[in-house]
Amino acid sequence: MASINNVEKFREKLRQGKFCIGTFIVSADPLTSELMGDLGHDFIIVDGEHAPIDTSRALGHMMACRGTDCAAMIRIPWNDKVMIKQYMDFHPAGIVVPFIRTAQDAADAVYAAKYPPVGMRGFGPGRGIAYGAMDAKSYLDASDTETMVILQIEHVDAVKNIDAILDIEGIDGLMFGPNDLSGSVGLLGQPTHPDVIKMIDEVTAKVKKTKLSLGVATGYSGDLDSVQVWVDRGVNWFALNSDYGYMQVYARKTLEAVRKLSK
């Protein structure tokens, strides 16, 4: 069952202490996910929160990574039990739940993602149960660990409540959203402001005392120093840029280089 979403490969890399590199997928066309997987990304996060990707296209992105070693995850639009149930049935390697602010938010996400008796997820699997070819018991015995539950820390309230959030069982990891975190304290667009860094360091120190993985989502335009800061901080995985971000960077550099020739 795990082979269809590559979650076991991602978990093993984390266990070995490898720094995992992925990217956000914002294009509706699943060819971008297949391409990113073939290039060697450890994971992708299909952006169901901000990108124009509906559920059917999200499923296509999950399927596109099956023939690669890339773990296909999805950021759901909101911490909503109905949305979580539907995206969980796509059998992604992980769901990223945005805008977690309290321990209750964290508990609600876990409760929606797990089958009874741990949670309240309704039973209606398709892809995860091999469209009926797998027996239900084998599926249920492993299903609650086959998709990671990752919570996005992007608000000052989450920082204030981080101890209680970390006490919730069933969480597999946390992911920083530095820009929204800066915005929550009136510093939008200033993710490297000392006040924001202080919050990030506080959360990082506490997460590193647990067995949870820690990731970050941020842009990249060739500044390796900015990546090194996160590596030194101890982040386990890095959502580097996005499919259109890669396109923009390469296209701009190509245009600049070729135009210089004409001069």
Phi/psi of residue 189, nearest 5 degrees:
85, 5
Q: Supply 81's token pair.
A: 């039990």
Count the neighbouring beta carbons within 10 Å of the beta carbon of residue 98.
22
Q: Residue 10: CB partners within 8 Å, gap ≥ 6?
A: 20, 42, 43, 71, 93, 94
The distance between the two most distant Cα atoms of the chain, rounded to a whole number of Å, is 69
Nearest to 149 by CA among 104, 96, 200: 96
DSSP 71: E
Residue 251 C-alpha from the chain's centroid: 26
Give per-residue pLDDT as tens, 145-178: 999 999 999 999 999 999 999 999 999 999 999 9
Confidence of residue 221 (pLDDT cuts 50, 70, 90): low
Q: Is 175 helix (H, G, I), strand (E, B) or coil?
A: strand
Amino acid at 86: Q
What pLDDT sits at residue 3?
73
Task: Share the mean pLDDT of the chain.
Answer: 95
DSSP 130: G
Count the neighbouring beta carbons within 10 Å of the beta carbon of residue 179.
18
Q: CA-CA distance, 160 to 81, in Å (whole number)?
A: 24
DSSP 217: E
CA-atom Rg of the chain in angstroms: 19
Q: Which CATH superfamily does the domain covering 2-262 fall into? A: Phosphoenolpyruvate-binding domains (3.20.20.60)
Average pLDDT over residues 124-138: 94
pTM of the model: 0.95
For residue 178, CA distances in Å to 164, 220, 257 come to 21, 13, 32
Phi/psi of residue 5, nearest 5 degrees:
-125, -5
In terms of pLDDT, which residue wins out, 116 or 224?
116
Q: Check pLDDT > 90 for residue 186.
A: yes
Q: Is 23 helix (H, G, I), strand (E, B) or coil?
A: strand
In terms of pLDDT, which residue wins out, 117 or 3?
117
Of 15-29, 111-125, 210-224, the least confident: 210-224
